[in-house]
Structure 1
Amino acid sequence: MQGKSYSELAPKGKRQAEQVAKCVLLLGISNIISSELGWTRRTEEMFSDILKYPIMVDIRMK
């Protein structure tokens, strides 16, 4: 199934995720809830590295 396996983000996706994480930091958002889909896992890791707080995963989000 698409999105279920662990897949890397493309270079453009990595740049976009980093930019969004920095904006989230500036906005003072303190909680992020993500899906368990494969490509979101890498995005979550990037966000967590920049934001310095854990990302919550909700298995109901598909």
Structure 2
Amino acid sequence: MRLFRSEEEVTEGELVDLTTLAELARRWYGNRLDPDWRPRTLAESQAILDSVGLTGEFWRLD
């Protein structure tokens, strides 16, 4: 992750606003310390990305 002052500074990758990034982090890491935690499947990981609006070819995990 890189933080930029403006969109003009971005030369590759995708832009994500901080609200979306925070929600992704909450969903991605929110249960890591639970005693019954298990690695998620690829489909479950993709569903998290989709649920926060990170869709399209760049965000495709398969």
Q: For this structure pair, what is the TM-score category when the shorter chain's length is used for normalisation?
A: 0.3 to 0.5
TM-score between both structures, scaled by the size of structure 2: 0.39
Hey, which of these two has a bigger chunk of strand by percent?
A: 1
Quick check: which has more Rg, 1 or 2?
2
Higher relative contact order (CA 8 A, sep 6+): 1
